[in-house]
A and B are shown apart, each in its own frame.
Chain A
Amino acid sequence: MLIINRYKCGYCGACVGACPATALELVETWLEVDESCVGCGICTKICPLGALELTEEGET
């Protein structure tokens, strides 16, 4: 599952442009992820601030 740390996120939209599953959406300063996320980890890797993290299913 993708965890978004909105205290860190700088709402730049880079992850949105790189997500191959169109799972991310930036609503002004609020980043959202939906169920189409396939857990590829691309967004976590490129995030300039390290605001994204993948956890095992079930964990939070």
Chain B
Amino acid sequence: MKCDLVVVGAGPAGSMAAKTAADEGLDVVLLEKRQEIGDPVRCAEGVGKVALAEMVKPDPSWISAEVRGARIYAPDGTPFVMTEDRAGSEVGYVLERKVFDRMLAMKAAEAGARVMVKTRALGLLEENGVPTGIIALHIGEKIEIEAPLIIGADGIESKVGRWAGIDTVLKPQDIEVGVQFLVQDGKIDGEYCEFFLGNEIAPGGYVWAFPKGKNLANLGIGIQGSRSDPGMSLRLLQRFLKEHMPQAKILEMMVGGVPVSGPIESTTSNGVMLVGDAARQSDPITGGGIINAMRAGVMAGEVAAELVQQGDLSREALKIYEDRWRDTIGKQIARNYSAKELFVTLTDSDLNGLVHSLEGEDVANLELKDLLKLLARQNPKLLWKLRHLRR
């Protein structure tokens, strides 16, 4: 089989890349190793409304809930609230990713991409050390797909980069690992996405509760890999549930890891681009990666269309993609990596102090940027490391 572009992985990054490139006229093959796109889900499903609507028209078939903002709890239980339009781009909708991911793949298919499920990329085809396509296992049969360009959108477990000599190994301190239950409970607040901070609750991470509809929520935990021990995520989440919602019923369970490494050194190689979690483009402070994955997918799809038509797919030529994402989403990823590096060092009393310092201040309507400024002003010693965030 021959085409202009092979995209490995039909998550948000891969489907957006495939759609964008196919819209521009490329012959695209989109591979997904699962037999059902989007399932099993590995996500809390929160996204910002504005950012999402810039890329796809919101549709009730894949939106489970709309929230008014975020409520963040200090380790001692003190809350503070941020309204939706101010909570950065992190909350707004809670999606149904099983439906959402398939819808995005369908958009790629409508644009002309050939989608192949139960098709796992096994390695690169190469000629004189230059990738010329992908070897894959399609429903148990080996196939070869020749293409001058490959986009690796293969998520947390990405191999495409490793095959192409790009170092994507996540150090334990640069991965958040977790478990999530879909819980049903009368106590669930359907209006806000909630975040619970604390070293006892979730070392180097947080517990979240994102509403999914009436009395339903994604209740999950993410902890820093370097502070985890075998099975710790599950034990801590079970304890949280027992203490906070002892009556809750668990209707679904999922497990996952998200990169929090900040921008990696390189996301391109001759004939290869990485996008989304494969390129470690998720946000290091929130662990959110859907929007960045989609944006990077669009950028890579555009660059693919430009360069395949011109015929130069060398690493030097692909630098356009490298520059584009670093100049856009990369800036915030880098900034939030510094914030994460500080966040993971905070003790519970630091965290309590930070939240208390906001008491009496009208924070609900502050922009995230102004909130950080205020925090830095109230807590000069603690946050001096974050002074460069105040620009």
Interface of A toward B, CB cutoff 8 Å: 10-20, 22, 25-29, 42, 44-53
Known interface pairs A14-B175, A45-B229, A49-B231; A22-B257 also in contact (CB < 8 Å):
no
Contact status B171-A12, CB under 8 Å: no
Contact status A18-B35, CB under 8 Å: no
Which of B162, B170, B256 lies in contact with A12, CB distance below 8 A?
B256
Contact status A49-B234, CB under 8 Å: yes
Q: Enumerate chain A residues within 8 angstroms of B259, measured Cβ to Cβ.
A: 17
Which of A13, A48, A53 lies in contact with B157, CB distance below 8 A?
A13
Check: B169 CB closer than 8 A to any chain A CB.
Answer: yes
Q: CA separation between A28 and B117, bound complex, in Å?
A: 11
A-B contact count (CB 8 A): 99
Contact status B120-A27, CB under 8 Å: yes
Interface of B toward A, CB cutoff 8 Å: 33-35, 40, 42, 120, 155-159, 162, 168-172, 175, 177-179, 225, 228-234, 253-257, 259
Contact status B257-A12, CB under 8 Å: yes
Q: Enumerate chain B residues within 8 angstroms of A15, measured Cβ to Cβ.
A: 257
Which of A11, A14, A22, A28 lies in contact with B177, CB distance below 8 A?
A14
Which of A18, A45, A46 lies in contact with B169, CB distance below 8 A?
A18
3 A-B pairs with least C-beta separation: A50-B231, A14-B257, A10-B255
Q: What is the CB-to-nearest-CB distance from A17 to chain B, in angstroms, rounded to a whole number?
A: 4
Q: Enumerate chain A residues within 8 angstroms of B159, measured Cβ to Cβ.
A: 22, 25
Which of A16, A17, A20, A46 lies in contact with B228, CB distance below 8 A?
A46
Q: Enumerate chain B residues within 8 angstroms of A18, measured Cβ to Cβ.
A: 169-172, 175, 225, 257
Contact status B175-A46, CB under 8 Å: yes
User: Residue of B at shortest CB range from A17?
Assistant: B156
Q: CA separation between A20 and B255, bound complex, in Å?
A: 21
Q: CA separation between A46 and B230, bound complex, in Å?
A: 6
Contact status B169-A19, CB under 8 Å: yes
Q: What is the CB-to-nearest-CB distance from A50 to chain B, in angstroms, rounded to a whole number?
A: 2
Q: Enumerate chain A residues within 8 angstroms of B120, measured Cβ to Cβ.
A: 27
Q: CA separation between A17 and B34, bound complex, in Å?
A: 17
Known interface pairs A18-B170, A18-B175, A47-B231; A11-B257 also in contact (CB < 8 Å):
no
Which of B40, B42, B230 lies in contact with A52, CB distance below 8 A?
B230
Q: Enumerate chain B residues within 8 angstroms of A10, measured Cβ to Cβ.
A: 179, 253-255
User: Residue of B at shortest CB range from A14?
Assistant: B257
